[in-house]
Amino acid sequence: MSLDFPGQEKLIASIDAAVALGDDRAITDALRKSLCSLICDESVSLPGCVLEPIADHYARREIYTSPEHGYSVIAMTWGPGQGTKIHDHSGMWCVEGVWRGRLEITQYELAEHDDQRYRFVAAGTIEAGTGSAGSLIPPHEYHTIRNPSDNAIAVSLHVYQRTMVRCGIYTPEEGLPGGNGWQTRGERLLGTDRVV
């Protein structure tokens, strides 16, 4: 699938060039730099539909999937206060750029785990503004994202190594109010929201 928008060819060519580097770290470094530049490039505008939030959840809209390289580009629209639980990217690298607004991103490191439970330690929180980009490379892929605004939407662009159809979601154990820090992993199937 692909949506038409101004500067689409420039965006795709930039991602293709980065992915051709072959090494995960080189790819994500190049993609971070490219996204920061493209977000500020007035000749590139995302489709208008990505500016429309959905009331009960953050929106995931597919912008492009590469038939040649397999990566996918998803625009996410975050209404005021919308966010995620701690989650992973199922072992895939990802580069995320803030296209509009601000996002609060907290990175987590896995401290320990057993067969069913995981315990994380917060490794830092940043508030990322328009034009900034970051990357996640497994095993450093655990994080939360949240729109900290009470009244403004935020839009982010995510380039995934492959189409991400599922991810791990981590939920604090019931009956232990924040006490022991252990979480259980569930699997969430990911879809995309309808483009209007």
Q: Which residue ranges make up the annotated binding site for Fe cation?
A: 87, 89, 143
Distance CA 42, CA 151 (A): 25
Residues near 60 by beta carbon (within 8 Å), at least 6 away in sequence: 74, 75, 76, 190, 191, 192, 193
Tell me how crowded residue 75 is: count the other CB atoms within 10 A of its CB.
25
Residues placed in the known binding site = 87, 89, 143
Residue at token pair 């090494």: 23
Q: Where are the beta strands (DSSP E) in 66-153?
A: 72-78, 86-87, 94-100, 102-113, 117-129, 133-136, 142-146
